[in-house]
Amino acid sequence: MDAPLWTETHAPGLDDLPQPEVRDRLRRAVDEPMNLVVQGPPGVGKTAAVRALAHEAHADPENDLIELNVADFFNRTKKQIRADPRFEQFLDGRSRMAKRDMINRVLKESAGYAPMSGEYKTIVLDNAESIREDFQQALRRVMEQHHRTTQFVITTRQPSKLIPPIRSRCFPVPMPAPDDEALEA
């Protein structure tokens, strides 16, 4: 087994986040799972905060946290997506699928699996500003179908690019860049 990456070993927990309001909102989402849109400028720590949320919420975050970087997914070729070990089980034998159908299938199948260590799992859609409107409509339906067993967390730099039905199903978590005082603390 490979040694953990430095970024995994030293990843922040919820208590380490320098933005008190973000900490409080994410802690509430641990206690009472809800869909979230974590929004803020690049490099502010959106993905790290969401991972901290999942590690706090799940006894088995390795299996109950599913991360999909939407920008990476749509920037890859279909062959690269099918060859990715995270997706091959969902896409085996489906060589004629369009990319939007591929990610939709991965999302539906991931949401359909039972949580491994509790009542729900967390699916993170990172860099969601890259999601096209037709996929957002499909995502809306998946969110409706699996709301009891799946917490959807969407990170984005541009929440205005999300369709209103997605935004209305998620609690907004604005994540501003921390000020100098917060960073020094």
Query: Would 74 be classed as within a structural domain?
Result: yes
Number of Cβ within 10 Å of residue 149's Cβ equals: 16
Domain that holds residue 46: 33-175
Query: Would 27 be classed as within a structural domain?
Result: no
pTM of the model: 0.87
Give tens-digit pLDDT for 137-146: 989 999 999 9
Query: Would 1 be classed as within a structural domain?
Result: no
pLDDT attached to residue 130? 85
Give tens-digit pLDDT for 108-161: 988 988 888 888 999 999 999 988 888 899 899 999 999 999 999 999 999 999
Query: Would 116 be classed as within a structural domain?
Result: yes
Query: Would 16 be classed as within a structural domain?
Result: no
Q: Which CATH number belongs to the domain containing residue 39 in this structure?
A: 3.40.50.300
Query: Would 167 be classed as within a structural domain?
Result: yes
pLDDT attached to residue 9? 64
Query: Would 70 be classed as within a structural domain?
Result: yes
Query: Would 15 be classed as within a structural domain?
Result: no
Question: How many structural domains is the chain composed of?
Answer: 1
Q: For the sheet containing 65-69, what is the strand order? A: 65-69, 121-126, 150-156, 36-39, 171-174
DSSP code of residue 66:
E
DSSP code of residue 121:
E
Give tens-digit pLDDT for 75-103: 888 888 888 888 888 887 767 888 878 88
